[in-house]
Each structure stands twice: as structure tokens, then as C-alpha cells.
Chain A
């Protein structure tokens, strides 16, 4: 029993790292633009399909496939922000309008995928075959790869936001847009790139998970709902909170599969979300914006 629990916790961490990736994109957008992106799950889905087509049509290696997916998702993100969100900003109704516009994009992309690519689930091979044995545990290399990639990307992204010129500009805009503009930062360009980066993070998560889960038009719905839970747990807008929240939710889910059953694990997650919102709406590190 103890061994099963440990194994599940490990699985939970792998899953949680993906939740953290998806959620960090969502929280990044909230932190800078003060909006919730309902199309985030569909950007994730687009990432999965690009990987699939990179494999089947171009026949490239996983590395180039992932890079292509990230690149295209980044471009789609830029495009969406410039075309749909930029015109709505600074107008009355900004609290609700991005929610509705991104919901429209989400409906559109889901049904576009259904029409263009069909409802049949598509699978891609594992990037690395085989399993590793470690102290009696068996772990697939793919899962280890997921953990390593997430950790690397998170650290790299953290450094990027803390150290680079763009990162400083990003944080400045998030803190006080007017002051940042006065200092010569083009806030709208920051928003555009933020959206692009957020989309790229979602696409990266999708490509890493594609061999484990299958690719289909609705694959983005569940990660988006999970990411909502994670960002609230961590506090909307908090990057560290999204990572901590992601790992916590992954572990919680895996444990509730063992202790309860897989059918009820989502109820546990949503119930935790509601309890957090009821007793501590700001999450771990959130601000008083609720």
C-alpha cells in the first residue's frame, strides 16, 4: 500500500508539472492584463495537433516538432491579442469582455478542429521508449522527461522574467501600467508578447502530454478547468503560486484516485477549489483582487 501511494505521488508530480505549465500561462495573462483567457485550453489543443502534423506530415524528430508547436502557438497568441483583445482594452466592460471574446475563440477553435481534423482521436509515439527501475519503482522515461522539461522551462522562465530587459518591462507593466508607459515601455507590445508566451507554454504542455493522453478537439477542456483550480489555489497572477498549486493539485488527484476512485477525483479537486475560494480567495500568494 505504501509503495502504491508513493508511486501515485510520483505520478501526481508528473501530472502536476503539466498543470503548472498550463496554469502559469493563465496566471501570467491575469497578472499583466487582468483578464481570464477561456481560449487557453484551445491553444493547448492547437499545440497538440501541430505536434501530430509535424510527426505525420513532416516526419521530424520530437525536438523539432515541439519547437514548431511552440513557435506556431506563440504566433497565434500574438495574433489573437492584437486582433481581439487590444481593441477591447481600456473600454468599459473590460472585466467581462475578454472572458466572452475568448469563450467565442474557444468555441470557434474547438469546432474548427472538429471540422478540419475530424473527431477521431490521434496518437503520437512516446518520445523515449522504455522504463527506468529505481529502488523498486518503475517509471516510464517519458514521465521523467516531462518532469525534467517542466523544471528546466520553469527555471528558465523565472530567470527570464527576473533578469532580462523584457522581464523587467513585463513586471513593471503588471505593477503599474501608467508608470511603465511613462518610462518608455510600450505596454501594448508587452501584452502581445505576454499572450504569445502564455500560448507557447500551453502548447509545450500539450506536446509533452500528447503521447500519454490522445489528441482530439476537446483535449483542452480538462487542462483548462484544472488550470483554473491551480491559479486560484496559487493566487491569480502569482507565478510561484501556479507552480506550487500545479504540483499540489496533481498530487491531490493521484491520491484521491487511490483513496477514493478515479470517477470522483475531479469532484475532490473542484470541492477544494470552492473551499479555497470560500475561506481564502487570494490563494497562497494572491493579491486582494477578488
Chain B
């Protein structure tokens, strides 16, 4: 018991240090190139944490996370372009739209148990989303790409500090995403400690046993879909107002899903820190390998294979051995 308490506080200190480092980083490094890499690490962090919630903790191995990311991105972009809605409102709206789609995709999955069937169903839905986005040329401009998406509007903090999202300065974006990242990881951590998280894991381990204990498996699995897609939708919305140009391939393609899978599996599926570690280390590694050109994706594929073969629990299990 005492040991357990000590462990928690040590981990608590680690989290505090990590938070301070991430918060203070732009004070020491202003190079937009590095800030950009950090932004992509955080973005993949949010996506990976949200996908891990459904695939790692609830045990529903979905293959359609890119649909939620894409719906959030396109909805928020279109709302701000066509209806002049503030991108700040687009963030939650993108999340809610993605959650709506998530619930819709989740419904047929509720009857399925076998991983291959769920993978095929979710993949089919996300392909439908991609093709619709490609074909509605009048609205989305199809493969030509949606450009001219407005950035977040500037604002002034109470202390008189101006936060700017224009020009080459990316620090504002960094802090917005950092807040989203903290909120996501904090929320997921809280959720996993609550009875909901316990129910998720119970369903993953043994659905029948969970049912016999009075866990409404259908409701919790749907809830898992809703939360996971909501978080991915917010990430998509942020991406749209950061990168300012969207194409169906950039957000809806299976490649996005593959990258999330690599990040989570290498980091550690079903572990809390795995997706975070995976997102940071792989984004940095991918950046480092940029000089290798196309080889880097070959390395990506090989790494995924090697992880499953030699370290099926991922990197995180080596660093933070988790109980149960």
C-alpha cells in the first residue's frame, strides 16, 4: 500500500515536470521549425490518445479514426469559410460533428466482436467519408483542396499579452494545442480511473463476464466511440486552422490511420503513456529521417513489424511498467 502511494507521487512529479517543460519550451526555443515539429507531436499525441481509448482500453480495434479527424477538419473549415463562424467555435463543433459520425459508425460495430470484422466495417465507413468529401466538389473543391481557411483570430490576454496567429509566429498555435493536449490527456486519465474506464477495460478483457456483472456493454462501447471520435474531431478542427489547406487525401486517407496505429502500437497499446511517448518519439524520429526520403516510411513499416514481434507491449511498458 505504502509503495503504491509512493509510486503515484513519483509519477505525479514526473507529470508536473513534463507539463512545466512543455509550457516553458517556447521561452527558450523560438525557431518556428522546431515549434512546428512540437505541434505535430502534440497533434499526433491527441489522436493517438483518443484512438488508444477505444482500441487499447475498450478493445474495439477500429480502422476509421481518420474519418473523425477529417470530419472535424472539414466541418470547422467550411463553417468558418462559408458562414464566417469563429474558428474558436469550430473546435467544439468539429468535435461534436465527429462524435455524431462516431456514434453512427459505432452502431453497426456493436453487434460485432471479431477484430477483423470491426476493422473492415470502420474502414468502409471512413472510405465512404473520403469519397463523399472528394465528390462534393461544389462544397469541398474535391482533390483540388480547400484553401483560404481562416486562421484563429488574434486576441489579447488580460495581462496585456497579445496572442497572434498570423505570420510566421507559431507560438500561439503551440499553446492552444498544448491546452487541448493537456485537457485530452487529463480527461482520459480521469475517465480511466472512474467506473467508466473500469467498464471499458472489463469489456476488453471479457465481454460476457462484464455483461454478467451488470455492465451495459452496448452503452459503454457506444460511449467509447463517442468520446474517442469527439477528441479526434477537435484535433481535426485545430489541424484545419493551423495548416490552412485541406485535401481529402491529407485528412481522410488510410495513411493517417496507419500513422496513428504505428504511434500507438510502438508506444504501447492499452497503456496510458504509450500513445504520448509514441507520438513524440516517432514524430521526432520521422523528422530526423527526413533526409532519407521515401526510406522513412519503409522504416516506419519495419518498425511496426519489429514492435509486434519483439516488444508487443510497446516502449511504454519498458519505461513505466503498469499494473493491470
Contact = CB atoms under 8 A, between A and B. Distances in A.
Interface in B99-147: 107-108, 111-117, 119-121, 123-125, 127-128, 131-132, 134-135
Interface residues of B, number: 42
Contacts of B305: 84, 101, 104-105, 108
Contacts, number: 127
A281 B265 CA distance: 28
Contacts of B124: 228-229, 270, 273-274
Contacts of B294: 111, 114-115
Interface stretch (A59-67, A122-130, A245-253, A261-269): A261-269
Given A35-B116, A99-B61, A104 B302 contact: yes
Contacts of B115: 36, 95-96, 99
B213 interface: no
Given A108-B305, A111-B294, A274-B108, A290 B312 contact: no
Nearest to B108: A278
A266 B127 contact: yes
A274 B129 CA distance: 13
A103 B302 contact: no
B312 A107 contact: no
A267 B301 contact: no
A232 interface: yes
Given A281-B111, A290-B112, A101 B309 contact: yes
- Identify whether the interface residues of A are mostly helix, strand, loop, or mixed: helix
B298 interface: yes
Given A96-B115, A274-B121, A263 B301 contact: no
A236 interface: yes
Interface of A: 30, 35-36, 84, 87-88, 91, 93, 95-97, 99-101, 103-112, 114-115, 221, 225, 228-229, 232, 236, 263-264, 266-267, 270-271, 273-274, 277-278, 281, 289-290
Interface of B: 61, 107-108, 111-117, 119-121, 123-125, 127-128, 131-132, 134-135, 254, 258, 261-262, 265, 269, 293-295, 297-298, 300-305, 308-309, 312
In the A-B complex, list the 6 residue pairs whose CB atoms are closest, starting with the nearest: A108-B301, A104-B304, A107-B301, A36-B116, A104-B305, A111-B297
